[in-house]
Amino acid sequence: RALQYVEQLTKMGVHSLKIEGRTKSFYYLARTAQLYRKAIDDAVAGRPFDAYLFKTFENLAHRGYTEGFLKRPAHQEYQNYEYGHSVSDKQHFVGEVIERKANGLEESDVKNKFFLCLSRGLMQ
């Protein structure tokens, strides 16, 4: 959850940030990069931190966020022993569209459970 420290990091002379996401979905990585890009652009332009970024970030399925090595949290904050999966009731990565057919149907590589009655958003 380094998002809140982007302004401080840019003032300290940090020129690049790495988002760790080897085990994350394409959707999670794209949205996270988008949110950090906005925070970086705001910091460089001298605009105050937009707290709405936190709300958007919290909507992503995740296992909980910490400030990692930027701030030393209490030991119990490092591990999540209550559940071993990402939690969110707002946004989930369902899968990747493999093919759009002429009849309007799509073939998808499904990665997570979903229900037909729920709406979906596509990210291109």
Specify the higher pLDDT residue, 47 or 88: 47
Please give the model's pTM, rounded to 2 decimal places.
0.58
Q: What percent of the chain has pLDDT over 70?
A: 65
In the predicted model, what is the mean pLDDT of residues 62-82?
60
In the predicted model, what is the mean pLDDT of residues 39-47?
93
CA torsion, ordered 20, 23, 24, 25, to nearest 10 deg: 140
Q: Where are the domains of the chain?
A: 2-92
Contact, 34 vs 42, CB < 8 A? no
